[in-house]
A and B are shown apart, each in its own frame.
Chain A
């Protein structure tokens, strides 16, 4: 774990730096993929930028809306450079809506665009796992297997390492699948299915799971829904591509 890099007087938050690197690498990969698929690369790059900026602004405004007395008395707090005063659910929803509107306006084809984004998302997932390794977030449950690590007062499953291995494998697999995409949307569907499947498995060893219905891990239930949705999507797209005239 290395959450903070002390460079002279500056305390650099390594997890944040890794996430920024993930956004940058992911954008570059998506742009490259878009060009390979015959699209304008800068269209996908701008789509990512629009989604990110809209998401961050909406997340801050959404958070501020919960504390109007604080932000009305001191509006400059809206500009604070901190990840703590964000409403992630509002940000994700706003980012997706903004990306959808931008894609419609620029007439970006849906499935090839999502295919172009898939490898970039997979690269971001690798950086996210590295950020978890650096910060000690997404930690494992206490265990007595030989490969446990000492973290947060107990010997725990190294779930951050499991996450890194899984995301790296998914990233490499997506790069291998590049050449043989049978239909538009294939890479994105495979990315969704594998990522959801990996989370469903790894969550079993997490020590910070949110629990639903008294004893079930929420992330596993959501992952199962995403996995089935991704498989259904792949089936539908595969069927559409083999129909006569498609």
Chain B
């Protein structure tokens, strides 16, 4: 087989082979041009980078409603957590610091507590302990965590101003540098 390959590559046969590869490949590239919408997931809601963030509406810890759609136009850091989860605890100060430092720049941290596997009293104690000021939605029936296919806590979704998920970080704790640089990148796109 190797001799046959060497034979094909040598002399005029080799030049002809390369020309044929170029012509056929170019025809293939042109023939398989993507149709409109075939290479972007932006229009389809799905919990992964490049797709529209699935809509969620939950009761907030303060008693009102928290809707992702209401935050459109801002960079959203959607963090799914539970009070008993050690890495969630470890990264919470960085999320609160981000909210305090970048909240005025068009960034909002949205906490989604996986209440189906937590207790509301523990959530209140947690929010008080860490002096959390960002909105927290209570996922009492697990609908939001199912919708976002959360397989591990914490999970963090970075959503741009157009409502497209741009980065998903499963597990934690998140390094503050990841939070800061990702948010700066998304804010920079709006300049």
Interface residues of A (CB under 8 A from B): 3-4, 6, 9, 11, 13, 63, 66-67, 70-71, 74, 77-78, 80-82, 84-85, 136, 141-142, 152-154, 176-177, 180-183, 186, 190, 200-201, 203-204, 206-209, 211, 215-217, 220-221, 224, 227-228, 231-232, 234-235, 238-239, 242
- Inter-chain contact A180/B1, CB cutoff 8 Å: yes
**Hey, which chain A residues are within 8 Å of B122, CB to CB?**
none
B180 touches A67 (CB 8 A): yes
Is the CB–CB distance between B151 and A3 below 8 Å? yes
Cα distance A238–B137 in the bound complex, in angstroms: 66
A136 cross-chain contacts in B, Cβ below 8 A: 48
Q: Residues of A contacting B131 with CB < 8 Å?
A: none
Q: How large is the interface on B (under 10, 10 to 19, 20 to 34, 35 or more residues)?
A: 35 or more
Q: Please tell me if the beta carbons of A211 and B34 are within 8 angstroms of each other in the complex.
A: yes
A77 to B170, CA, bound (A): 18
In this assembly, does B128 line the interface, its C-beta being within 8 Å of a C-beta of chain A? no
Contact with A70, one of B10, B26, B34, B181 (Cβ below 8 angstroms): B181
Given known A6-B151, A13-B170, contact A186–B44 (CB-CB < 8 A): no
Q: Judging by beta carbons under 8 Å apart, are A201 and B28 in contact?
A: yes
Selected A-B contacts with CB under 8 Å, 8 pairs: A4-B170, A67-B180, A80-B175, A180-B1, A180-B3, A182-B2, A209-B34, A211-B34
**Residues 1-18 of B at the A interface (beta carbon under 8 Å):** 1-3, 5-6, 9-10, 14, 17-18
Q: Find B45's partner among A9, A77, A153, A206 (CB 8 Å cutoff).
A: A153
Which residues from chain A contact B176 at a C-beta distance below 8 Å? 74, 77
A211 to chain B, nearest CB (A): 6
Task: Please report B residues at the A interface, Cβ cutoff 8 Å.
Answer: 1-3, 5-6, 9-10, 14, 17-18, 21-22, 25-26, 28-30, 32-34, 38-39, 41, 44-46, 48, 50-51, 86, 151-152, 167, 169-171, 175-178, 180-182, 184
A231:B180 contact, CB within 8 angstroms: no
- Name which residue of chain B comes closest to A151, CB basis: B46
In the complex the two chains form, is B170's CB within 8 Å of A208's CB?
no
Q: Given A153-B44, A200-B25, list of 7 further CB < 8 A pairs?
A: A3-B151, A11-B170, A71-B177, A77-B176, A80-B177, A209-B39, A217-B34
Shortest 10 CB-CB contacts between residues of A and residues of B: A77-B177, A204-B32, A11-B152, A80-B175, A180-B2, A153-B46, A152-B46, A153-B44, A11-B171, A4-B151
Cβ–Cβ contact A84 & B167, under 8 A: yes
Q: Let me know if B50 and A208 touch, CB within 8 A.
A: yes
A224 and B29 contacting across the interface, CB-CB below 8 Å:
yes
Contacts of A238 in B (CB 8 A): 6, 9-10, 14
Q: Are B170 and A84 in contact (CB under 8 A)?
A: no
A224, B10: Cβ atoms closer than 8 Å: no
**B15: min CB distance to chain A, Å:** 8
Instruction: Contacts A209-B39, A217-B32 given; indicate if A85 touches B178 (C-beta within 8 A).
Output: yes
Cross-chain contact A231 with B17 (CB below 8 angstroms): yes
Q: What are the residues of chain B within 8 A of A242 when measuring CB–CB?
A: 10
Per a CB cutoff under 8 Å, which of B39, B51, B180, B182 touches A211? B39
CB distance from A135 to the nearest CB of B (A): 9
Contact A152 B38 (CB under 8 A): no
